[in-house]
A and B are shown apart, each in its own frame.
Chain A
Amino acid sequence: MTQQELITKINTVLAEEFEVDAAVMTPEANIKQTLALDSLSLVDLVALIDGEFGVKIPTADLPQLTTFQRLYDYLGERAL
């Protein structure tokens, strides 16, 4: 899978799970605001990433995943 294919897949699964338009998920956009995540649904993001990409995000890493670009990079290093 290329980096672009990974980004497309991330956007697709997040759009489907959190019921938002994939077009709003720009690299600089804030993940929590864009996906309307609260402390509970953040848990669903972690579970979704594990299920779809086999990458377990430790709680300690969550604060650094502020934008979609950071998530792409984070998963790019671990899933590709």
Chain B
Amino acid sequence: MKRVVITGLGIWSCLGKTLDEVRESLYTGRSGIVLDPVRKQMGFRSALTGYVEVPELKQALSRAQRTFMPEQAKYAYCATEQALRQAGIDADWLDKNEVGLLYGNDSSAEPVVRSTDKIREKGDTTLCGSGAIFQSMNSTVTMNLGTIFHLRGINLTVSGACASGAHAIGLGALLIQNGLQDTVVCGGAQEVNPYAVASFDGISAFSVREEAPAKASRPFDRDRDGLVPSGGAATVILEEYKHAVRRGAPILAEVLGYGFSANGDHMSSPNIDGPARSLRMAIERAGIDRREIGYLNAHATSTRVGDSREAQAIYEVFGDQPTEVTSTKGQTGHEMWMAGASEVIYSLLMMKNDFIAPNLNFENPDEDSARLLIPAQRVAKHFDTFLSNSFGFGGTNASLIIRNL
């Protein structure tokens, strides 16, 4: 099996629009959550959301290119541009080499709503405009990135609910391990507009702690009352190790293990066995002892059942081993389709800078989180291996193990 390394990172999130900004936000424990008054006017139960600036791309891309891009494709463009730049990959190189693209995305609600409104208002499908179909498709991000950056390898959107970004990275690693691709652009993107999460709000999944937005997302805390939706995009460049060495690329880390599983039972309520199998598979495939894992980035979204079940799964696999576990969602909210990719980047930034960001708002444990080592304050720690969990609706699970190089 070939080795898979990470040679570039790019991020556009509520914690920052550059790696430096995001690292600083993680270090200081800054929350990216705000109250969006528009959601209240729309009838939302909770108006809490991560705040993500939509990039202005008029200077960077042509009108024709921008016409096909919904919000999340713009985030993904910015993240990918950063990641390719860090990896030392330019347009000329992309034109001469076959590069794959696997990106997590599981909705594109706003263009669908706008098109439907237009058809109902005008009774004429032409008036939706030329971009509507390309913006509306679930594969919009990979369509846009593939054509903009001239990527000519595998081109596929990974839709695995809130584990989409993690599965994209895991599947990209498998392709490289098996010699099918040398370089794969992986990541995850998540739209932030209200239409994207209106029906999610409707099932009372969101925190209603609106009086204190920065306190609302509180993974593992006894008094958590739901998740806070968020989004943006995160890109990770995966490359075959020798290929990266030959290219003189910056080698940041190695993807050691990808574990996956499905619960196969409940639509929204996770179990313990599925996540535990994902964790075990990642460790087994990484070929390491679990005690080598110096930090675990949990999926924990701040929901009552989800955090509890994950805490039980982690305890089942790790036992009393004192490895720090945190969920960065205390700061970011739940970045959903993007989360598996962004949390690899957050964890990597911590690993490279010898700290673990605080599990924001973890004030009192419940009986399950009490059995884990969850720091509520920033920890100064050197670690060389981390594990990142991502789980999604329908019971899809992914775990990635990354090692420092």
Contact = CB atoms under 8 A, between A and B. Distances in A.
B146 to A, nearest CB: 17
Interface string A39-50: 011111011001
Contact of B122 (A18, A40, A50): A50
Contacts of B272: none
A43 B126 contact: yes
B287 interface: no
B63 interface: yes
Interface string B118-130: 0000101011111
A46 B127 CA distance: 7
A19 interface: yes
B124 A44 contact: no
B124 A43 contact: no
B67 interface: yes
B126 A46 contact: yes
Contacts of B122: 50
For chain A, give the interface size range: 10 to 19
A78 interface: no
Given A18-B63, A19-B63, A40 B130 contact: yes
Contacts of A36: 64
Interface in A13-44: 17-19, 36, 38, 40-44
B120 to A, nearest CB: 15
A44 B128 contact: no
For chain B, give the interface size range: 10 to 19
Nearest to B124: A56
A31 B300 CA distance: 55
A38 B65 CA distance: 13
B126 A41 contact: no
Interface in B249-272: none
Nearest to B63: A19
A44 B129 CA distance: 5
Given A18-B63, A19-B63, A50-B122, A41 B130 contact: yes
Contacts of B130: 40-44
B57 to A, nearest CB: 12
Contact of A47 (B58, B63, B126): B126
Contact of B67 (A42, A44, A50, A56): A44
A51 B127 CA distance: 9
A42 B63 CA distance: 13
Interface of B: 58, 63-64, 67, 122, 124, 126-131
10 contacts: A18-B63, A36-B64, A40-B67, A44-B67, A47-B127, A47-B128, A50-B122, A50-B127, A56-B124, A56-B127
Interface of A: 17-19, 36, 38, 40-44, 46-47, 50-51, 56, 59
